[in-house]
Amino acid sequence: MSILGTRVVRTEDPRLLTAGGTYVDDLRLPELAGAARVTFVRSPFAHARITGIDASAAREAPGVVAVLTYSDIDDIPPPPPPPEGGPPPGSEAAPMPLGGPWQEPLLAVDKVRFVGEAVAIVLTDDSYQGEDAAELVVVDYEPLPAVVGIGEALAGGTLLFPDAGSNIPVAHPAGDLAFDGCDVVVEREIVNQRVAPVPMEGRAAAACWVDGKLTVWVSTQNAQISRFILAGAFGLDPGTIRVVAPDVGGGFGAKVGLDRDAIIVAWAARHVGRPLRWVETRSENLTGMTHGRAQRHTVKIGGTRDGRVLAYRLDVVQDTGAYPRMGGFLPTLTNLMAPGPYDIAHVVAGYRVVVTNTTPISAYRGAGRPEATAAIERAMDLFAAEIGMDPAEVRRKNLVPSDQFPYQSPCGALYDTGDYIGGLDKVLAGAGYADLRAEQARRRERGDVVQLGIGVSSYVEITAADADNGETARLVVHDDGTATVYTGSSAHGQGHHTSWAMIVEADLGIQMEKVTVKHGDTDEIPLGTGTYASRSLQLGGVAVHRANLEVKEQARKLAADLMEASEADLELDTDSGRWQVRGDPGASRTWADVASHAGAEGLTAFVHYTDGAPTFPFGSHVAVAEVDTETGKVTLVRHVTVDDAGTVLNPVLTEGQRHGGIAQGVAQALLEEMVYDAEGNPLTGTLADYATITAAELPSFELLVSETPATINPLGAKGIGEAGTIGATPAMQSAVIDALSHLGVRHIDMPTTPVRVWTAISEARASQ
Amino acid sequence: MKVTVTVNGRQVAAEVADRTLLVHFVRDVAGLTATNVGCDTSSCGACTVLLDGQSVKSCTVLAAQADGCEVTTVEGLASEPGEMHPVQRAFHAEHALQCGFCTPGMVMATVSLLAENPKPTEEQVRSGLEGNLCRCTGYHNIVRAVLAASER
């Protein structure tokens, strides 16, 4: 029996549990002996002119090696020219900063545009000295009016980039849509708030230069992409750069590639001729690492009184923060997925991107798709409320039927396979939907203080959106019968080492204990893309599978030669991992025998798998919430989900991905928001203020099984990494609103904090 | 000032700056890097260790305060090298870790929680671990692991 699809606990864990991981701050390498610490001096102003920097006192402080500012960066080439017409479409592969008038400098030149922008760096022998010396760097700021929020950015009263003439770097606004034939049309503005990714390990990088070769250790999801970013920044041949991703303490999209902070660390290491290490503090992380979401939606939905949705219009404004990094690209995914899992005849979607004096926006678990789902799911609920129909029933009436796949969406996506209605029915049955509605009715009847809310969401998402970039794998079978996989994919918690070893065992019968998986070192693996957009298994896993098959065919020839049999008569017994003449297990050869018989080139194969295409996981969630109508406090009591990501390789791992995503989705719906005051000061700049969700605020989750295989790849796999945030966020928000619907509450923006809920209740009661 | 701490049964003595935090003493002086720093407000618990058997956030304790005390980190939890403590085994079996960064602190907080309450309810586990953040697991499998460990 194949190991695929079985519950296998992770091979990664014993080391992490007993010795701890080796994150950038834990590296004790000879190359980093004597590494100085990098401490960033960051802007305390959201928008200001820099009129002077005096580092003389800092330079005299104990342990200071150097204090460096923009004026010291005279030894790297200017940034490449901007791409024509804005960011290239269709790829999440690299951050896409806009150049030209929107250019983001490595260190602030004469202006700062967000609190947390890097202004100078202090290099010291230890980190305590760094914090002291950074305080002594005197920067003269002349404050400018700050642009905070989408409304102010669009108004354009203050421009972040006067040379650009506007605060809108990209504009493809939604066109008009006639809502002909609609009995009911509902329109509303919805905020999808700015949140912080908060990987438990913040950003970190170390760098050294030896004989002209740069080595950078960085907490990244993509060592290979990082290498190309560095090569571009320094004008160097990528062959002279080694990037290593050691253990990475979570990424969630915010560690795609590497930030300019890491480029500065690498540059400074060359500038001062000493290895350097930078590990950001959490407070630094909350303003320096990119944020996610930060969209404003205007949704308009129309349909018939019997529940059929006929038309939907979504207009997105993306706050991309102070500089257009990947935030300029994210709304294209929101537009692409605008109609969600519904068969709606007429859909238009568009977007504008605005700059504000806040931390730049980039990917965060879902990256544009949770926003699309949140918008359409709110719209469906508003429509259901308007026509007085059960929200689950409205969904069932509009979900793409199973006989319609592959389904061409009006926004350009080709949904590959699915059973959307089956998924909805399964989750409703699993949640006991009818019983929940009955309990809700009883509480309403009794006028209970604690009301029950039931939130339903259905979603479809796109994973491996950039499948044509593909992924690499190299397999080597060694003379002792062990194997090594070199993957271009990149692990930071997902369990690649376990999964890839399972694929080798399933294909070749080499037990997974004998399989070593390596990732994240560009000297060993120069070509690769890495991990984002839920792409790993369906691209990187398939690449491993393909490499297995190539090795298997090489081995067949070698075994035939060894056994003096014809290749056609040989078979591989994947249970025992032995080659044998068909039907005659008596005389067989092991992988060690076969590998030892290979020539000098060894038994190895390299695959760059680019034949994939994006896949479209789907599912439905039910959140059950209790809402205290006197205090506004919300408690999530149950969360039931169907998340169908095709064929499951290891249920243990897919469940883990779902759990984590659900928690982050619930967190956005209930608690988390990066808040700025009118001057652009972050009010949630520490973990004491930012409401990261804890164990005490969550129930155990109820996960239901659904597997509709993808047909585009041989593993049948779709991505699972982001399903949780996509499905859970709107279900949770909806549950809160649903608990109060009998009071006349139709909408509460996220996060549905007690004060917002209480205010909504008060306003609804006042208007009755 | 001179500080002497017994870390995982080994006496470590060093001259350190007065303001040295216990977590940095453990990581940089004792050379045990499993214990991580995840925040600067005592919010996340990644740095949790046992100080004379009680869980503390070692980013909020001065090394000087630990002078003469015993500190246990996740590296010192198992009775034998190559073995795992029941809590570590439960975390492995229940897939209670992903990226691993919060894990040493989470395991130590769990050891402390179970020492105080050997048979906690799910609710007690959840409130008991409120001071330890995990961004990967949604806490679901951590809670299961703690409950499983409590039954061993």
Is the minimum CB–CB distance between B63 and chain A shorter than 8 Å?
no
Taking residues B17-24, report their average pLDDT: 98
The rounded distance, in Å, linking the Cα atoms of B32 and A513 is 28
8 Å CB contact of B135 and A492: no
Work out the minimum CA distance from A515 to partner chain B, whole angstroms. Answer: 19
Q: Which residues of B touch A687 (CB under 8 A)?
A: 39, 41, 43-44, 133
DSSP A202-232: --EEEEEEETTEEEEEE--S-HHHHHHHHHH
A601 and A709 co-located in one domain: no
B90 and B71 co-located in one domain: no
Model confidence, pTM: 0.97
8 Å CB contact of B38 and A201: yes
B47 and B11 co-located in one domain: yes
Residue A455 Ramachandran class (φ > 0 left, ψ -120 to 50 alpha, else beta): beta
CB pairs under 8 A between A and B: 185
Taking residues A107-128, report their average pLDDT: 97
Q: State the amino acid at position A152 in one-letter form.
A: E
Percent of chain A with pLDDT over 90: 94
The rounded distance, in Å, linking the Cα atoms of A597 and A590 is 11
In a domain, B90, yes or no: yes
Six-digit token pair at A407?
A: 């389904």
Work out the minimum CA distance from B6 to partner chain A, whole angstroms. Answer: 18
For testing contact with chain A, the best of B139, B142, B144 (most A CBs within 10 A): B139
Q: Which residues of B touch A201 (CB under 8 A)?
A: 36, 38, 99, 101
8 Å CB contact of B33 and A660: no
Q: What is the pLDDT of residues A214-242, one digit of tens each?
A: 999 999 999 999 999 999 999 999 999 99
The strands making up A578-581's β-sheet, listed across from edge to edge, are A570-573, A578-581, A584-590
Six-digit token pair at B133?
A: 């953040």
A581 and A637 co-located in one domain: no
Look at residue B31 and tell me whether its pLDDT is greater than 60: yes
Backbone angles phi, psi at B87, to 5 degrees: -70, -40
Tokens 């580092």 found at: A55
Look at residue A768 and tell me whether its pLDDT is greater than 90: no
In a domain, A543, yes or no: yes
Is the minimum CB–CB distance between B25 and chain A shorter than 8 Å?
no
Last residue of a domain, one of A585, A609, A633: A609
For testing contact with chain A, the best of B95, B123, B125, B130 (most A CBs within 10 A): B95
In a domain, A131, yes or no: yes
8 Å CB contact of A493 and B100: yes
Six-digit token pair at B84?
A: 């795992």
| CATH of residue B120 | 1.10.150.120
8 Å CB contact of B41 and A20: no
8 Å CB contact of A692 and B140: no
DSSP run (H or E) holding A26: none
Domain range enclosing B139: 86-150
Percent of chain B with pLDDT over 90: 96
The rounded distance, in Å, linking the Cα atoms of A572 and A649 is 22
Work out the minimum CA distance from A498 to partner chain B, whole angstroms. Answer: 12
Half-sphere exposure of A104 (CA within 13 A, CB side): 23
Radius of gyration of chain A (CA): 27
A309 and A454 co-located in one domain: yes
Domain count, chain A: 3
CB burial of A529-552 (b: ≥16 within 10 Å; e: otherwise) equals bbbbbbbbbbbbbbbbbbbbeebb
Q: Which residues, 6 or more positions from B19, have their beta carbon under 8 angstroms from its beta carbon?
A: A128, B62
A404 and A276 co-located in one domain: no
Q: What is the pLDDT of residues A471-520, one digit of tens each?
A: 999 999 999 999 999 999 999 999 999 999 999 999 999 999 999 999 99
A670 and A716 co-located in one domain: yes
The rounded distance, in Å, linking the Cα atoms of B15 and B3 is 6
Q: Pick B133's closest partner by Cβ from A20, A247, A694.
A: A694
Closest chain A residue to B35 measured between Cα atoms?
Answer: A20
Is the minimum CB–CB distance between B115 and chain A shorter than 8 Å?
no
Q: Which residues of A touch B135 (CB under 8 A)?
A: 198-200, 250, 252, 660, 664, 692
Closest chain A residue to B42 measured between Cα atoms?
Answer: A688
**Where residue A80 falls among pLDDT bands split at 50, 70, 90?**
low
* CA A321 distance to own-chain centroid: 18
Last residue of a domain, one of A609, A632, A658: A609
8 Å CB contact of B75 and A247: no
Backbone angles phi, psi at A490, to 5 degrees: -140, 125
8 Å CB contact of B136 and A198: no
Q: Which residues of B touch A659 (CB under 8 A)?
A: 137-141
Look at residue A77 and tell me whether its pLDDT is greater than 90: no
8 Å CB contact of B103 and A17: yes
For testing contact with chain A, the best of B29, B39, B73, B88 (most A CBs within 10 A): B39
Is the minimum CB–CB distance between B145 and chain A shorter than 8 Å?
no
Percent of chain B with pLDDT over 70: 99
Last residue of a domain, one of A545, A579, A609: A609
What integer pLDDT is reported at residue A98 of this predicted model? 66
In a domain, B81, yes or no: no
Last residue of a domain, one of B53, B76, B99: B76
Q: Pick B137's closest partner by Cβ from A13, A248, A660.
A: A660
Work out the minimum CA distance from B133 to partner chain A, whole angstroms. Answer: 6
Q: What is the pLDDT of residues A717-749, one digit of tens each?
A: 999 999 999 999 999 999 999 999 999 999 999
| CATH of residue A619 | 3.30.365.10
A634 and A678 co-located in one domain: yes
The rounded distance, in Å, linking the Cα atoms of A766 and A501 is 62
**Please, what is the average pLDDT of chain A?**
95
8 Å CB contact of B17 and A655: no
Q: What is the pLDDT of residues A531-582, one digit of tens each?
A: 999 999 999 999 999 999 999 999 999 999 999 999 999 999 999 999 999 8
B46 and B90 co-located in one domain: no
Six-digit token pair at A667?
A: 């967190």
Q: Using an 8 Å Cβ cutoff, are A232 and A267 in contact?
A: no
The rounded distance, in Å, linking the Cα atoms of A113 and A45 is 8
B141 and B122 co-located in one domain: yes
The rounded distance, in Å, linking the Cα atoms of A132 and A472 is 45
A604 and A618 co-located in one domain: no
Backbone angles phi, psi at A163, to 5 degrees: -65, -25
Work out the minimum CA distance from A660 to partner chain B, whole angstroms. Answer: 4
Angle (CA) A514-A519-A521 rounded to 5° is 130
Q: State the amino acid at position A175 in one-letter form.
A: G
Six-digit token pair at A481?
A: 């019968």
A637 and A542 co-located in one domain: no
8 Å CB contact of B40 and A686: yes
Is the minimum CB–CB distance between B147 and chain A shorter than 8 Å?
no
CA distances from A71 to A76, A119, A143, A588 (A): 12, 11, 21, 69
The rounded distance, in Å, linking the Cα atoms of A370 and A726 is 4
In a domain, A452, yes or no: yes
Q: Which residues of A touch B78 (CB under 8 A)?
A: 18
Look at residue A84 and tell me whether its pLDDT is greater than 60: no
A108 and A238 co-located in one domain: yes
Q: Using an 8 Å Cβ cutoff, are A341 and A400 in contact?
A: yes
Tokens 């100085």 found at: A36
Tokens 């499951």 found at: A648
A262 and A125 co-located in one domain: yes
8 Å CB contact of A656 and B102: no
Q: What is the pLDDT of residues A658-674, one digit of tens each?
A: 999 999 999 999 999 99
Q: Which residues of A touch B144 (CB under 8 A)?
A: 700
Q: Which residues, 6 or more positions from A436, have their beta carbon under 8 angstroms from its beta carbon?
A: A452, A454, A622, A624
In a domain, A188, yes or no: no
In a domain, A177, yes or no: no
Last residue of a domain, one of B41, B56, B76: B76
Respond yes or no on whether ipTM tops 0.90.
Answer: yes
CA distances from A193 to A190, A268, A482 (A): 9, 36, 49
What integer pLDDT is reported at residue A327 of this predicted model? 87
In a domain, A137, yes or no: yes
Three-class secondary structure of residue A474 per DSSP: strand
A363 and A471 co-located in one domain: no
Would you give the DSSP letter of residue A539?
I
Q: Which residues of A touch B41 (CB under 8 A)?
A: 282-283, 686-688
Radius of gyration of chain B (CA): 15
Taking residues A145-163, report their average pLDDT: 97
A584 and A500 co-located in one domain: yes
| CATH of residue B53 | 3.10.20.30
In a domain, A704, yes or no: yes
8 Å CB contact of B84 and A656: no
B24 and B67 co-located in one domain: yes
Interface of B with A in 26-55 (CB under 8 A): 27, 31, 33-44, 46
**Where residue B152 falls among pLDDT bands split at 50, 70, 90?**
low
Tokens 């969700």 found at: A693
Look at residue A79 and tell me whether its pLDDT is greater than 80: no
In a domain, A191, yes or no: no
Percent of chain A with pLDDT over 70: 97
Tokens 């297995």 found at: A548
The rounded distance, in Å, linking the Cα atoms of B137 and A695 is 10
Look at residue A76 and tell me whether its pLDDT is greater than 90: no
Q: What is the pLDDT of residues A373-409, one digit of tens each?
A: 999 999 999 999 999 999 999 999 999 999 999 999 9
8 Å CB contact of A201 and B125: no
Domain range enclosing A643: 292-464+614-766
Look at residue A95 and tell me whether its pLDDT is greater than 70: no
**Where residue A181 falls among pLDDT bands split at 50, 70, 90?**
very high
